[in-house]
Amino acid sequence: MIHKTLNDREPVPNLTDYATMQASFSWDAARAECAGLSDGGLNIAFEAVDRWVAAGRGEAIALRWLGKNGERRDFSYAELARLSDRFANGLQRLGINPGDRVCILAGRIPELYITALGTLKAGAVFCPLFSAFGPEPVRVRLVKSRARVLVTTTLLYRRKVREQRSDLPHLEQVLLTDSDSDEPGIRSFHTLLEAETDHRPPPRTQPEDWALLHFTSGTTGTPKGAIHVHQAVIAHRLTGCWVLDLRPGDIYWCTADPGWVTGVSYGIIAPLANGATLVVDEAEFDARRWYAILDRERVNVWYTAPTAIRMLMKVGAEALHGHDLGALRFMASVGEPLNPEAVTWGLATLGRPFHDTWWQTETGAIMIANYRAVDIWPGSMGQPLPGIEAAIVQRRSGGVDRLPPGEEGELALRMGWPSMFRGYLEDEERYRQCFAGGWYLSGDLATCDANGYFWFVGRNDDVIKTSGHLIGPFEVENVLMEHPAVAEAGMIGKPDEFAGEIVKAFVALKTGYEPGDALRKELLGFARTRLGPAVAPRELEFVADLPKTRSGKIMRRLLRARELGLPLGDVSTLEGEHLKDSDA
């Protein structure tokens, strides 16, 4: 365990007494802390920017944009409010109605944030797309969402949309962020904004009105469109405050791409709803650049992914040389379970431990976390957010059975939190299958110890059974990563006529180590010594990189499909050979 000792020179944590708050919490009280609308309504964009303007903090910096070529631009809360009003007015002039979908296909450019906030103010539904998607994943999402407006760049439009325009009958307008020319069906984003006024009446959205549409991939079939409502901002604001310890005036950096749910929930909404300054870096991942940003911008709170942390570990501490990270008071991780080595590396190298968080596209906000004032068990997901009831369950006909501490089962959440998704777009049956007996069933296998800490085991479809033993990938991967040569590890079950399945590991090495038979034998023996022969990998293959989603999750099913010659399924969220666009 890492025992917390808080620095007297730093602000007191927003959540100091976890047990008391857990016992006394009410979502109604959390709702009352939002500004709200005069008619009892709720709007995410109003809570993110306009409330701060009304409170006299309009000149505070809301967004600090760092261009990949050295550009730098600050946007105040008042400026974001004005620009998003203009975009909402422009959407109305284009005939966009409440509930219509507005998609954006772009990297981390200022227009993305204006689009998100303006769309929400207009009562339309904001739907982000990965800028690294190929033409087919873009087409599928535009078709499924029935988007009427797409905001994108000239290059992305030409490469990924133009040739498919005839297949998109609902797409009426494309707004280009870097073009001044208007032609049928295509307009200039900035010309549209310049033609509108700065002012707009307050939004008229209600808490249950649709606000966000996030596409998430399953192991089979087409992507699922998870629907979230304006009431989700209650959980965004609260988790930003209690989990990430954000407060007005903080400098905050979330490295997630806005095409992924983290890049919206915690890359736009939560920091702005807590009055922080959001740092946005357009450039690709580079360890020295990242350390320079943390130093130069005096970042207080940093939210990144295990993929990025492991890449920093792989580069080594020399990239940190000459940089002062003394402004950092909190570091957190999301996207894939955080290996214990990454937690302790952060403490040893950066002076702070990384705090793991667990949530999903469907939950909309952080559900389980390690908090700033609470001790950390490295490798644990942490404890549920106050207001969230989590349990380990076993499915049965018509419901679930709760399992006692220490037993492995499916992680479930009691229904009723405000950011819970309200459906899969046009797939009601798929949505219903996610619930049983009043619980949301996550599909993640985990355990809960006697102290209330949750521990990730694996996805339902990742766990293997070998010689009668159930084995989760995380345990095996953690052990392999303890070896000094291993940068990343992934595990699958491979069919075997005697054992049913055997464990096969895929390993990416750190710089300075070369693959070979000797190292393979050493790693297999290393794992066997620590895990025992029943659990340890029987085969090991060296790879340059593990296939990962752009949110940082290892795609074990892709490893399995390639090994066994099976169909790859949906790979639209697959990351390239290297981490790109800083979207860890």
Per-residue pLDDT of 361-396, as tens digits, reads 999 999 999 999 999 999 999 999 999 999 999 998
Residue 577, pLDDT score? 38
Residue, of 574 and 320, whose pLDDT is higher = 320
Residue 464, pLDDT score? 72
Burial of 452 (0-12, 13-18, 19+ CB in 10 A): middle
Residue 461, pLDDT score? 67
Helical axes 77-93 vs 110-121, angle rounded to 10°: 60
**Angstrom distance (rounded) from CA 450 to CA 506:** 33
pLDDT at 207 over 70: yes
pLDDT at 579 over 60: no
pLDDT at 534 over 90: no
**Angstrom distance (rounded) from CA 470 to CA 18:** 34
pLDDT above 90 covers a percentage of the chain that reads: 74
Over residues 538-557, the mean pLDDT reads 85
Over residues 314-335, the mean pLDDT reads 93
pLDDT at 572 over 70: no
How far apart, in Å, are the Cα atoms of 172 and each of 93, 187, 211, 258? 13, 11, 20, 23
Domains with residue ranges and CATH for the chain: 18-448 (3.40.50.12780), 461-546 (3.30.300.30)
pLDDT at 567 over 80: no
Residue, of 391 and 527, whose pLDDT is higher = 391
User: What ranges in 221-305 are assigned the alpha helix state H?
Assistant: 232-242, 261-264, 270-273, 287-296
- Answer for the pair 347, 353: CB distance below 8 angstroms, yes or no: yes
How far apart, in Å, are the Cα atoms of 128 and each of 116, 175, 296? 8, 14, 29
Helical axes 306-315 vs 287-296, angle rounded to 10°: 110
Would you give the DSSP letter of residue 528? H
Over residues 402-424, the mean pLDDT reads 97
Structure confidence by residue, pLDDT tens digits, 16-35? 999 999 999 999 999 999 99
Residue, of 337 and 347, whose pLDDT is higher = 347
Burial of 514 (0-12, 13-18, 19+ CB in 10 A): exposed
pLDDT at 150 over 50: yes
Residue, of 397 and 248, whose pLDDT is higher = 248
Residue 571, pLDDT score? 65
Residue 56, pLDDT score? 97
Q: Which of 74-88, 128-142, 195-209 has the lowest mean pLDDT?
A: 128-142
Tell me the pLDDT of the chain averaged across its residues. Answer: 91
pLDDT at 294 over 80: yes
Q: How many CA atoms lie within 13 A of 81 on its CB side?
A: 25
Residue 582, pLDDT score? 30
Residue 83, pLDDT score? 98
Over residues 526-533, the mean pLDDT reads 83
Residue 40 binned pLDDT confidence (cut-offs 50, 70, 90): very high
Q: Which of 148-152, 232-236, 488-492 has the lowest mean pLDDT?
A: 488-492
pLDDT at 99 over 60: yes
Residue 583, pLDDT score? 32
- Answer for the pair 383, 368: CB distance below 8 angstroms, yes or no: yes
Residue, of 255 and 468, whose pLDDT is higher = 255
Residue 576 binned pLDDT confidence (cut-offs 50, 70, 90): low
Residue 560 binned pLDDT confidence (cut-offs 50, 70, 90): confident
pLDDT at 52 over 50: yes
Residue 132 binned pLDDT confidence (cut-offs 50, 70, 90): confident
pLDDT at 584 over 50: no
Over residues 250-267, the mean pLDDT reads 94
Structure confidence by residue, pLDDT tens digits, 455-506? 998 777 676 766 545 576 777 888 899 899 999 999 998 887 666 688 999 9
- Answer for the pair 524, 518: CB distance below 8 angstroms, yes or no: no
Residue 355, pLDDT score? 97
- Answer for the pair 118, 82: CB distance below 8 angstroms, yes or no: no
pLDDT above 70 covers a percentage of the chain that reads: 93
Residue 218 binned pLDDT confidence (cut-offs 50, 70, 90): low
